[in-house]
Amino acid sequence: MSTDTPHFKAVIFDLDGTLLNTLPDLVVVTNTALEQAGMPPRTQDEILGFVGNGVKSLISQAVPEGTSAEELKQVYNSWCAIHHEMGTRLTQPFPHVVEALDELQAMGVALGVLSNKFDDGVQEVIGQYLPGYFAVIHGESADIPRKPDPTGLLRTIDELGLEPTECIYVGDSPNDIRTAKAAGAFGVAVAWGYHPVEDFSAPDVQPHLIVNDPRELAWLIKNE
């Protein structure tokens, strides 16, 4: 990489589809909520197409066309209650994520998480599967709007005590790249997530880099 490339001091990650494969649990929880409302279930591929913009967006796409706002709210509330009760029993880190985090941490790189998942869910799942790695963790909340609004990423960077040019934001969706660009961070897309690499072909969502393995992030920082 060129000598004028900024020195990266932090890597901030999206969560679902980037660090953790939460899709199996999302399928079970979503279909349970739909079943309780008397609505037809969705396939895994359908639910995969609905994720990436938060739970409310997922539910609004999963319910049948013509569902009223009140019914939508009821399904959303059921989803949250079921998620809290069932937990994330089927969730797992993607291959080599833990090794990559270990290496980055050993290098002294600051680590953070910014997700469109509701904040309580983010804190819970990180605490369960990837505890002790991240200095800053944020999900959607009253103060953190959903991506691609860059507010959450800029706040995360500020809380790490860094500038956007010193940070890499890693995600599996086009909105993650839009967020990185809007914040002035280095945007990295992952090839193992919920979106195919073809989704990153449009000019506004082209990442600085696409990685095929989480361990490439340490290589990126060492060889910048």
Torsion of CA 37, 43, 44, 50, to 10 degrees: -70
Contact indicator for 27, 46 with CB cutoff of 8 Å: no
What Rg do the C-alpha atoms of the chain give, in angstroms?
17
- Give the catalytic positions in this structure: 14
Expressed in percent and rounded to 5, the helix, strand and coil fractions of the chain are 45, 15, 40
DSSP state of 102: H
Report the candidate in 1, 2, 5, 3 with the shortest Cα–Cα distance to residue 166: 5
Report the candidate in 185, 105, 121, 109 with the shortest Cα–Cα distance to residue 153: 185
